[in-house]
């Protein structure tokens, strides 16, 4: 299940729990289109709550590639930074992926939410003169994690 919270815009928080279906991935791509269509700069914090959430559903790779080809320029123009939190079991493998090179924006992968929020604060928010309320962000993430599937 994939859930989003935009109440702290320009931060978009996405929490993924359990396996995603191809329909879930299509909906996720559509959400990204909406965010980019706003024409406003934003930051993403994506939290994979468990190892199942890291598994890509069959058929999702071509969708993701097409989306990136279509939206790459808008991502580079509008996304101020991307932080991704993965479960400890996937951290070593995924931290080596160069999301910054792939998307063309500041990006990093973390094993915990605190690390991701600290990085966003230091590398994205503060240089732009923005304030990141880590406690409020953490509460939002916890609320998304407790939503029933």
What's the CATH number of domain 2-146, 3.40.50, 3.30.750, 3.40.1000, 3.30.70?
3.30.750
CA distance 31 to 28: 5
Confirm if 105 and 79 have CB atoms less than 8 A apart. yes
Instruction: Give residue limits of the domains in the chain.
Output: 2-146
CA–CA separation, 99 and 107 (whole Å): 6
Sign, CA torsion 90/92/94/95? positive
The reported pLDDT for the residue numbered 146 is 82
H helical segments located in 38-85: 60-78
Distance separating alpha carbons of residues 69 and 13, to the nearest angstrom: 23
Query: Two tokens at 37?
Result: 């269509």
Q: Is the pLDDT at 91 greater than 80, yes or no?
A: no
**Predicted local distance difference test score (pLDDT) of residue 2:** 92
5 forms bridges with which residues in the sheet?
13
Strand partners, 13: 5, 45
Q: pLDDT at residue 86 above 60?
A: yes
Interval 26-78: pLDDT, tens: 999 999 999 999 999 999 999 999 989 888 888 888 988 899 899 999 999 99
Is it the case that residue 149 has pLDDT exceeding 70? Answer: no
Structure tokens that stand for 17 in this block: 């729990």
- Residue 112, pLDDT score: 93
């Amino acid at each position: 299940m994939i859930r989003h919270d935009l109440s702290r815009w320009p931060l978009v928080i996405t929490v993924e729990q359990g396996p995603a279906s191809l329909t879930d991935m299509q909906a996720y791509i559509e959400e990204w289109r909406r965010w980019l269509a706003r024409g406003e700069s934003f930051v993403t914090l994506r939290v994979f709550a468990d190892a199942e959430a890291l598994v890509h559903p069959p058929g999702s790779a071509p969708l993701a590639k097409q989306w990136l080809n279509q939206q790459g320029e808008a991502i580079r123009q509008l996304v101020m930074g991307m932080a991704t939190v993965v479960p400890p079991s996937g951290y070593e493998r995924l931290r080596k992926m160069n999301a910054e090179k792939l998307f063309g924006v500041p990006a990093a992968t973390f094993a915990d939410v605190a690390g991701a929020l600290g990085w966003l604060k230091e590398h994205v928010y503060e240089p732009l003169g923005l304030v990141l309320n880590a406690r409020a962000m953490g509460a939002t993430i916890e609320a998304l994690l407790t939503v029933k599937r």
